[in-house]
């Protein structure tokens, strides 16, 4: 496991930090022995800072990872929270999807990145396996650099693989 880097006053996600988040997330995916994963880190304005995918990832994984992270930033909540909101207010989330020109994906795996002041400074989008495993890898990556993921903790494993 990577040694946590203390970044208490970080206001923006740098390329160096984004790469460390993704490297730690990929290491977690290997530890979990899950399907090939893809990860994206967006800054607080929704711009791509870094993206990486494992060999044999599906060809839509960039768009899926981006949609999870973009939706989390757009709604100021994790994509898991958006997914739960969709059950209560499906018309609202459908409207938000339309307003975002289809960019928002309401499936767990979009995790907000908060600094020590709890300010949102970016988001990680993760995809490739079941949504709980996707989210666990993203959360692990954020913790690995000393920042605060939202949600703070992953759903406990073991994780169910997606349908084949």
Domain map of the chain by residue range?
15-150
Residue 8 reports pLDDT greater than 80 = no
Nearest to 124 by CA among 56, 63, 51: 51
3-state class (DSSP) for residue 155? coil
pLDDT higher than 60, residue 7: no
Q: Is it the case that residue 4 has pLDDT exceeding 60?
A: no
Is residue 152 predicted with pLDDT exceeding 80? yes
Farthest-apart Cα atoms in the chain, separation: 44
Q: What is the pTM of this model?
A: 0.93
pLDDT at 3: 62
Task: Please tell me the predicted confidence (pLDDT) of residue 35.
Answer: 96
Q: Which CATH number fits domain 15-150: 3.40.50.970, 3.10.20.70, 3.30.450.150, 3.40.50.300?
A: 3.30.450.150
What mean pLDDT comes out for the span 21-41? 97
- When pLDDT is averaged across residues 26-36 and rounded to a whole number, the result is 97
Q: Which of 85, 136, 129 is nearest to 106 (CA)?
A: 85
Q: Provide the pLDDT for residue 161.
A: 75
**Could you report the per-residue pLDDT of 85-128, keeping only the tens digit for each?**
999 999 999 999 999 999 999 999 999 999 999 999 999 999 99
Percent share of the chain, pLDDT over 70: 94
Rounded CA separation 155/158 (Å): 9
Cα–Cα distance for residue pair 72/142, rounded to 1 Å: 15
- 2: confidence class by pLDDT, cuts 50, 70, 90: low
Residue 6 in this model has a pLDDT that exceeds 60: no
Which among 91, 94, 38 is positioned nearest to 69, based on CA atoms?
Answer: 38
pLDDT attached to residue 160: 80
For residue 21, whether the previous peptide bond is cis, meaning omega lies within 30 degrees of 0, is no
> 3-state DSSP call for residue 113?
strand
């Amino acid at each position: 496991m990577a040694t946590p880097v203390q970044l208490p006053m970080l206001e923006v996600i740098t390329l160096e930090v984004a790469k460390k988040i993704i490297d730690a997330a990929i290491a977690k995916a290997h530890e979990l022995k899950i399907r090939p994963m893809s990860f994206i880190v967006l800054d607080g304005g929704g711009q791509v800072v870094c993206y990486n995918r494992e060999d044999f990832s599906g060809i839509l994984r960039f768009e899926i990872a981006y949609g999870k992270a973009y939706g989390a930033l757009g709604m100021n909540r994790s994509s898991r929270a958006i997914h739960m909101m969709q059950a209560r207010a499906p018309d609202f989330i459908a409207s938000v999807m339309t307003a975002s020109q289809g960019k928002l994906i309401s499936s767990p795996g979009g995790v907000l990145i908060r600094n020590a002041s709890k300010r949102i400074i970016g988001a990680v989008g993760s995809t490739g396996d079941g949504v709980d495993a996707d989210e666990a890898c993203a959360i692990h990556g954020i913790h690995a650099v000393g920042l605060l993921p939202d949600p703070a903790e992953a759903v406990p494993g073991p994780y169910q693989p997606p349908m084949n």
